[in-house]
Amino acid sequence: MIWLLTYALTGALVGFIAGLLGIGGGMTLVPILAALFTAQALSTDHNVHMALATAMAAAAFTSSASVREHHKHGGVDWTTVKLMVPGMVTGSLLSTFASGWLTQRTLAIAFAIIVFGAATQMLLGKKAHAARTMPGPTPSFFIGLCIGTLSGLVSAGGTFLIMPVMLYCGIAMHTAIGTGAAIGIPVTVIGTLGYIASGWRVSDLPDYHLGFVYLPALGALVATSVLTAPAGARLARRLPVTTLKRIFALLMYVLATKMAVSYW
């Protein structure tokens, strides 16, 4: 019972952050779940795999709650969503299928490197020129394919990687947050299916699992995160762009460092 309560409290916090920054919450959850699963001794060799899969599954629900709130205020660019989703879904599916053949250490280090680089880009990126627009369908597919592949490795909907692209192309920060959350929904759904498939025949997994997804944790996380995500989204509408960028980058630095130190 204490573990379910811990998952529920974690879900409430991550849901609020997800709504605030437009992320599905998967990226935030990975190091937390990895630590909790290790403390419970759920698996010898697959705690990170389960953390990645469970976080991505939870992110699908949290993103949906966040998007509804952002959409109410016109904060989702659906044209950009349509351009980016096909490539990102393809890349996410490929990478999550491959994750079962990668070691915990490889996944953890990949997570740290990718997230650290994205955070630096967020802080150092220059303001976009208003005349820029998102690229056409073909370039968008290949950009999405690369981002989807990387985000699939770290169990995220790709918002933290697509955000710099959207800002560069002139999409306002508040709109980019809502748009990133919308892009993350199909990516996390497909990515979750990939993790389920890659972990389907793996041994040394605990009871009540679906592939690499640990169902007790998923249920508790979703129950609270979908309630707090809209509150985070409402706050995002009120905060200055610079503040949102700094919060976003700081969070990513902390998560990358935690994961690298834990599994180096």
pLDDT of the residue at 25: 65
CA–CA separation, 126 vs 181, rounded Å? 22
C-beta neighbour count of 220 within 10 angstroms: 21
- In angstroms, the CA 167 to CA 150 distance is 19
What is the CB-side half-sphere exposure of residue 14 using CA atoms within 13 A? 34
Cα gap 19→141, rounded to integer Å? 26
Pair of tokens at residue 13:
């916090």
Distance CA 43, CA 180 (A): 33
Q: What is the DSSP string of 99-160?
A: GGGS-HHHHHHHHHHHHHHHHHHHHHPPPPPTT-----HHHHHHHHHHHHHHHHHTT--SHH
116-129: burial string, b at 16+ Cβ within 10 Å, e else: bebbebbeeeeebe
Dist. CA 66–CA 226, nearest whole Å? 8
Q: With a cut of 50, list the residues of the chain below it in pLDDT.
A: 128-131
Q: What is the pLDDT of residues 28-57, one digit of tens each?
A: 788 889 889 999 988 878 888 899 889 989
List pLDDT tens digits, range 56-106.
899 888 888 888 888 888 889 998 899 889 988 888 777 766 666 777 677
Q: Distance (Å, rounded) from C-alpha 264 to C-alpha 176?
A: 33
pLDDT of the residue at 133: 64
Res 12: pLDDT: 93
Spatial distance between the Cα atoms of 104 and 122, rounded to a whole number of angstroms: 27
CA 41 to chain centre: 24
